[in-house]
Amino acid sequence: MERGSILRYSRQLPLIGVKGQERLSSSTVLVVGAGGLGSPVLLYLAAAGVGNIVLVDRGYVDLPDLNRQIVYDEDDLGKPKAEAAAERLRRLNSTITVTGYSMDVMDDSFEKLVASTDVVVDCLDNWPARLRLNDLAVRYSKPLVHAGVWGTYGQVTTVIPGQTPCLRCLAPGAAESGGGEVACPITGAFICPVIGFTPAILGLLEVSEAIRLLLGERPVLAGVLMVVDLNSMEFTKINVKRRSDCPVCGRTGSAP
């Protein structure tokens, strides 16, 4: 390692070693969604020295985003999130490669991004997109770290294809379920309520799992769903099992 890299990562080198740092620098992580969850995920993966970060988001920075999407500031309003987030990460760590794509996960070209990564991090906000990501991760045997938030609640788990349940095992009816939107008391618009610290905490849990995977360690939440209740500060682990009839990862299933 160069002297500059040793100095930059000197606080984490005693924990992961030079070889661990080299593993991070040679790894590729795909972060899907650059919003409330994606912001801390992207910032801390970049700060940790993950060498190649690929981020995907089809949206544009809007004022209501700024209460939780800390990768952006007011100068980014109106910009494509993929572009603004990528530029922010390059300013944070010029030694890594960051590529942003303004793309929908349903696009055919998205599949290539999943196939060419080491770890996938789900920072999405709706189940149809999550399940599309889940199916591709299983198809290409890519570890998938998932989180979701609502209000002051959240959940996080890690999917290791062939070993653990996939997201369709955990939520078989998710594609048909509602998004949990409520009416804003000011504007009347239907939104998913969230306070900024909820996705921050859940996103950092995702980072912890992703870095474990990149270092070759078994993630703590493989086959485990952690439910987070920040009202009571309760973190509950639930062991989950793979469904034999799952259409994606079950014995007779295959990712569509």
- Are 53 and 99 in contact, with CB atoms under 8 Å apart? yes
Q: Point out the least confidently predicted range of 158-167, 180-189, 211-220, 239-248.
A: 180-189
Picking from 59, 32, 11, the residue whose alpha carbon sits closest to that of residue 210 is 32
Is residue 245, in this structure, part of any structural domain at all?
Answer: no
The predicted-structure confidence for 23-62, as pLDDT tens digits, reads as follows 999 999 999 999 999 999 999 999 999 999 999 999 999 9
How many domains, the chain?
A: 1
Is residue 154, in this structure, part of any structural domain at all?
Answer: yes
Beta bridge partners of 159: 144
Is residue 194, in this structure, part of any structural domain at all?
Answer: yes
Res 204 pLDDT > 90: yes
User: What pLDDT was estimated at residue 191?
Assistant: 59
Parent domain of 161? 3-239
* pLDDT confidence bin for 180, thresholds 50/70/90: low
Is residue 250, in this structure, part of any structural domain at all?
Answer: no
Selected catalytic residue, list 184, 192, 246, 249 = 184
Is residue 20, in this structure, part of any structural domain at all?
Answer: yes
Tell me the pTM.
0.92
d(CA 255, CA 253): 7
d(CA 93, CA 86): 11
Domain of 47, CATH number, reads: 3.40.50.720
User: What pLDDT was estimated at residue 181?
Assistant: 54
Res 240 pLDDT > 90: yes
Res 255 pLDDT > 70: no
**192 flagged as catalytic:** no
Is residue 69, in this structure, part of any structural domain at all?
Answer: yes
Picking from 71, 96, 95, 92, the residue whose alpha carbon sits closest to that of residue 81 is 71
Is residue 248, in this structure, part of any structural domain at all?
Answer: no
Is residue 247, in this structure, part of any structural domain at all?
Answer: no
